[in-house]
Structure 1
């Protein structure tokens, strides 16, 4: 900080990996729609301004891409209606409430399997062993990926997301390789599902779905499954790890939640608000307009700063406090408007199944004394990369006769 003004770099992953909240607070008070002069983008920091942008797609378009430093990609998140609506209608078949609810038992079984692998040791890396595998296994199962292929799925997801906003040539090269390998893998499976009219998994459902004569092409289906993979894997992973970090930093709330499972739904919403794993998405102004006192010009790029909106003092009482009983809690972790997260119900189900088990099966879990937790320096989706924890060893379900 200098002269009270913050050091802001809205496209720098290090800015988000550090502590951006004092800068967000300053912007909300002084320049709520803040122009970062170096990249020339606007940061939308306040809740109601962000909601206006997200719910007015005719004025603030997604079609130029939701990443300010990358061109638009051919998947629905980088589209406006009517093409966005068409894609979402087709892809949404796999995320209907009934279809998601039916996955509860299998997701619970995955949680138990992951906990079984570490519970007898008394220690683990919470991210590597619990938070990261869960959403990856769930998405992999939905896509019909064989268990032996899960490590490839994780590697492809990590490598592609790591390159976003990175100037590192090795990261960009790794992302290109990962994309090529993923495309080859998924294309082969799409062909099998179309040939056999197999709808036993999400790829099969999407490959054979048709509404009013509309079907997804192979290229479209590849891109939409990629969006499901990266979006569903990385975001939920960071809410699990960041949510547990917040609980461990507030042991009174941890104990209260463990004693009263009815508090879990509200606690999960507070974790989502607190972590805000998606740091921003971009919109492009389609005409000159005014927002938050700023003069926006046609063609300008605006970043929706979700972590800032989720700490807006005009909407949340004591927003800098973590409170599992917070009511109301209309956070924006899943976005607003036509691009509201398609996988929100699945993410909530994964969080519920994992935390309900962690609180009962590893009740005294705590951070190992290893110093500051490393966080991914990324300007899109980021969170804790490693979190060593310890706990009293407990028997696995097999050892306990389950």
Structure 2
């Protein structure tokens, strides 16, 4: 597969790589990581050609993922930014939706700039009081709900949802609708969350579009001091955004700003339960929190992959990626790369250095990274001093996905003061 064998023509299918196109593989973390560890060691650049998906190269090493992210003039997000089925590729192309993850420079740079200031560290400092208040609200709710709850559904999905909707300016009465729509969009591979067939799943997308189209009209008529207003009234080269552009912007912020943080918080909680010595260490030394947040994000890697398409032939590890071929950047694999992380399968709240790529790398580095870090730190900063005991009350359950996800159920038994 590598070391100068000439690329696809000489490639042999590696069964292990097919896990990356199997939503159910992500529900079995042990099996997934066994396969990815094998790939990193034996075939770090692997050709994947499985039913229902357009073929692609799987990139599993940390250094190679960074190399491709840096070469954003060669490897573009368009036309295939995410791994979905062939039918999903066609639906995406037909829908006309173009979020930040579908764009390349210079358009990506111009559109990203519209929301950039809302996610800078200075803006996050202004949001900290809101994050802390919400964290207290949800930990208090755990007390009321206790001594057991499904931590994902009661806490982890709701806390970041409230944060991102507050930032956008969506009224609280509509939070439930947004939760349902984002779960249907990102849970489209999971039997519990998906809405029927592909046509019905597109209905969820259209409902979100309808909602945000109305929000745009309202903010243009009566501008307010929220992110929705900034998007609705933004201009590029003197021209306002089209309806599809404004709605695409809302959709990526509403969905990505919610599901990723919830997966990190849920996965972080699970890791602390499984490693009580790490929980005690973090509780006894709150100064470790920034490091612990990074480790939770590395450990869970909520965004499993992004895709890129080669605009010209490119050689990586001796393998030629031909112009027009796609690569899948496996962040899940990169974040367990033995060449980058000491003891990568150990959850370490004091890990230094921690060069994880869970937020991506380069020009497409996650716009909401600072917000995610704030949310996770605020939540555990509130929870841990009050947590007297916690244990699993049932088996954890993972979302079937090839894109964004993590735990969908985490039954816990706990005592809080």
Fold-level similarity (TM above 0.5): yes
Could you tell me which residue of structure 2 aligns to residue 217 of structure 1? 242
Check conservation: 1:278, 1:333, Cα contact below 8 A: yes
CA displacement 1:332-373 (0-9 Å, x = unmatched) = 0100011000000000000000011110122322221x2x31
Regions of 4+ moved over 6 Å: none
Could you tell me which residue of structure 2 aligns to residue 327 of structure 1? 352
CA displacement 1:15-49 (0-9 Å, x = unmatched) = 12213111111111111111113242111000110
Distance in structure 2 (CA, Å) of the matches to 1:10 and 1:263: 33
Aligned pair 1:15/2:25, yes or no? yes
Aligned pair 1:188/2:214, yes or no? yes
Instruction: Pick from 332, 337, 348 the counterpart of residue 373 of structure 2.
Output: 348
Offset at residue 165 of structure 1 (A): 8.9
Distance in structure 2 (CA, Å) of the matches to 1:367 and 1:294: 45
Offset at residue 5 of structure 1 (A): 6.4
Could you tell me which residue of structure 2 aligns to residue 256 of structure 1? 281
Q: Which piece of structure 1 moves more, 5-14 or 253-262?
A: 5-14
Offset at residue 211 of structure 1 (A): 5.8
- The structure with the greater share of residues assigned to strand is 2
SS in 1 for 2:46: strand
Distance change in 2, residues 1:189/1:206 (3 Å): same
Map 1:354-365 onto structure 2 (within 5 A): 354-365=379-390
Distance change in 2, residues 1:147/1:318 (3 Å): same
Distance change in 2, residues 1:174/1:237 (3 Å): farther
Could you tell me which residue of structure 1 aligns to residue 407 of structure 2? 384
Could you tell me which residue of structure 1 aligns to residue 6 of structure 2? none
Check conservation: 1:165, 1:379, Cα contact below 8 A: no
Map 1:16-165 onto structure 2 (within 5 A): 16-19=26-29, 20-38=32-50, 39=53, 40-69=55-84, 70=89, 71=92, 73-120=97-144, 121-163=146-188
Distance in structure 2 (CA, Å) of the matches to 1:264 and 1:83: 36
Check conservation: 1:17, 1:382, Cα contact below 8 A: no
Q: Which piece of structure 1 moves more, 34-43 or 293-302?
A: 34-43
SS in 2 for 1:363: strand
Q: Which piece of structure 1 moves more, 319-328 or 116-125?
A: 116-125
Offset at residue 7 of structure 1 (A): 6.7
TM-score of the pair, normalised by structure 1: 0.92
Offset at residue 8 of structure 1 (A): 3.0
Offset at residue 214 of structure 1 (A): 4.7
The CA RMSD measured in Å over matched residues stands at: 1.9
SS in 2 for 1:191: helix
Could you tell me which residue of structure 1 aligns to residue 314 of structure 2? 289
Instruction: Pick from 301, 304, 314 the counterpart of residue 326 of structure 2.
Output: 301
Offset at residue 171 of structure 1 (A): 4.7
Aligned pair 1:272/2:297, yes or no? yes
Offset at residue 91 of structure 1 (A): 2.4
Map 1:161-180 onto structure 2 (within 5 A): 161-163=186-188, 170-180=196-206
Distance in structure 2 (CA, Å) of the matches to 1:115 and 1:171: 37
SS in 2 for 1:28: helix
Check conservation: 2:263, 2:406, Cα contact below 8 A: yes
Q: Which piece of structure 1 moves more, 211-220 or 326-335?
A: 211-220
Distance change in 2, residues 1:156/1:281 (3 Å): same
SS in 1 for 2:240: coil
Distance in structure 1 (CA, Å) of the matches to 2:207 and 2:129: 31
Map 1:233-252 onto structure 2 (within 5 A): 233-252=258-277
Equivalences, count: 387
Check conservation: 1:122, 1:391, Cα contact below 8 A: yes
CA displacement 1:65-103 (0-9 Å, x = unmatched) = 311332454112111101111111112232232222211
